[in-house]
Amino acid sequence: RKGGKGGIKVTVPAVMPTKQLLQRYKEALDTAVQLATMHNIKPIHGSTIVCCDVNPDMDLSTSAANGLGASVCTLRDVALLLALMFRYSCEECTLVLFDSARDWHDLLDAEALPQDGILANMSALQARVLASEESTGPGATCFPLAVLDELVVERRRVQNLVVLSKGTLGPGGEDCAAGRATGTQGVAHFLANYRQLVDPDLLYV
């Protein structure tokens, strides 16, 4: 039948699904995402830190989210989903949410996201991002370098550093630095420092 703006055709199911059926659909979709992750991403050994940018500029619709359900429809949602897929595939993973437009970051260890499902944790991450936007205002362009600096101070070995962002951070791109002049002692400086003092084989993606 037609309805809504511009006479858009709206399909109404003959039998409305129950809450139990919708829950089964969600669980089936979550299982499908986990299986796709297992088959398409090789297990990532060692310790990995995933930094996920949740800047409002990432809140843009994208075709890459098609078929992933209503909870995944923007670049930011896709970044969060990829972060959770990394977490699912990594031997050891620390997830850091950050807003490159505000002085805010949230470090999440394994206990912070107790649910096993990938999509099941999406709502928890989205709620954290929403709460941060309501509690903090805009600030300087920044990256959670304090988290990375601790790795150098503690000489903690990390095999992989992954940054999910709409912008380009690090060597050859926009080098955001929290509390420092942009391009000065930012991500590129950390990489050089860490590889020299701790582990020359650190992989940055």
Instruction: Tell me the mean pLDDT in the region 43-72.
Output: 74
Give the predicted TM-score (pTM) of the model: 0.71
* Residues 188, 172: Cα–Cα separation, whole Å: 9
Cα end-to-end distance, the chain, whole Å: 48
Contact 105, 96 (CB under 8 A): yes
- Highest CATH level, class, for 18-204: alpha beta
Sequence-ordered list of residues with C-beta below 8 angstroms from that of 178, at least 6 positions apart, any chain: 103, 140, 142, 143, 144, 145, 146
Tokens of 26: 């969600």
Count Cβ neighbours within 10 Å for each residue of 46-71 and write b for 16 or more, e otherwise: ebbbbbbbbbeebeeeeeebeebeeb
CA 7 to chain centre: 38
Residue with tokens 């930012």, as numbered in its chain: 186
For the stretch 9-56, pLDDT in tens is 767 777 777 877 776 777 777 677 667 766 677 778 899 999 988 887
Instruction: Tell me the mean pLDDT in the region 120-147.
Output: 71
Question: Domain-by-domain residue ranges, the chain?
Answer: 18-204
Instruction: Tell me the mean pLDDT in the region 165-190.
Output: 58
**Rounded to 5°, angle at Cα 35 from 30 and 37:** 95
